[in-house]
Structure 1
Amino acid sequence: MASRAVCGVYEIHPERVEKARAALPEEAVLGEAALLLKALADPTRMRLLLALKTAGELCVCDLALLAGVSVSAVSHQFRLLRQARLVAFRREGKRVYYRLADEHVERLLEGALEHAEENT
């Protein structure tokens, strides 16, 4: 049977609780951060973002080929990534080119991979 981490003694540490509470961001910021992490929580979206991290900028057709999914599936994924402000885009005629929104996204991806690789 797996052991569970359970507090054997019910004891409150008010100073620590208040310090943690005071450091919490506003609800709107928490919501944005949760949306961002939710957008990252999909292997296809991670693959697409990592491709952008490496290539810098790719069109939807290139991304579809790379991910092994349809162009419409890529477009759907990028709607979610745009909502989370993880990617930016530009149009060139009928083509749409995507890139990572900024260096924060690159650091998020690097940190996620680094953390995941520690456990493999």
Structure 2
Amino acid sequence: MDKVRILICEDNEAISTLTKFKLARVGYTHCDIAANGRIASELVVTTNYDLVITDIQMPFVSGLELTRYIRNDLGRRTPVIILSSNTDENTVLTGFDREITVFLAKPVIPRELVQRVKKLLKRK
């Protein structure tokens, strides 16, 4: 797990800090935090992440735009977990059309998120 790199893209500092803490407790200690989509877009160019966790509604670049950028512009198959309080059918289906891996509704249950992360990273 030491070499596993995770990007957490979340503009709510409490959520991103809690997510990083919960992942570190189970051994995922190499987590970067991006407070907005623009920073996340820059980070995914310079670092080959094993997993990206992102909110949909982010300043500058949304989580869906970030996913499209990772898939289309960078050509990477990096698993992407989308977190959102917007769970209407259109939003969820658009996410899967953009090739997200997992959609989790906010408020996210931290243990569920950790289990999803473990499962996705086990596949890699």
| TM-score using structure 1 length | 0.29
Higher strand share: 2
Compare CA radii of gyration and give the structure with the larger one: 1
| TM-score using structure 2 length | 0.29
